[in-house]
Amino acid sequence: MTTGLLGSADLVANTLTTICTLPAGSQSFTVNVCNRNATNVNIRIAPLAAANPPVNAEYFVYDSGLQANNVMQLSGLTSGSAKLVVVYSDTANVSVNVYGV
């Protein structure tokens, strides 16, 4: 199991962004999303087996509202090996960090 920062990104509006590829083996991880805007944003997060757009069943966060100048943290997440962690925001100026735990 890998610990520490696995990937980070400054999201582009309306674009699905790959943050990292989880290491081989079962991996526990945490996702931090920081809204640096003065307005609310909507966030989507999914782990993917391949670099294709996620299907609805793959999302574990879908259009969840993140308040202005606020943080969302999802911890204790577990996924299989070599999954891509992808994040989407409907607005720019959103930071994402994924940590292995």
Structural domains of the chain ordered from first start: 4-100 (2.60.290.11)
**pLDDT tens-digit series, residues 35-61:** 999 999 999 999 988 778 898 999 999
User: The whole model's pTM is what?
Assistant: 0.91
Banded pLDDT at 96 (limits 50, 70, 90): very high
62-73: b or e for each residue (b if 16 or more CB lie within 10 Å)?
A: eeeebeeeeebe
Contacts of 57 (CB under 8 A, 6+ apart): none
CA atoms of 69 and 25, how far apart (whole Å): 35
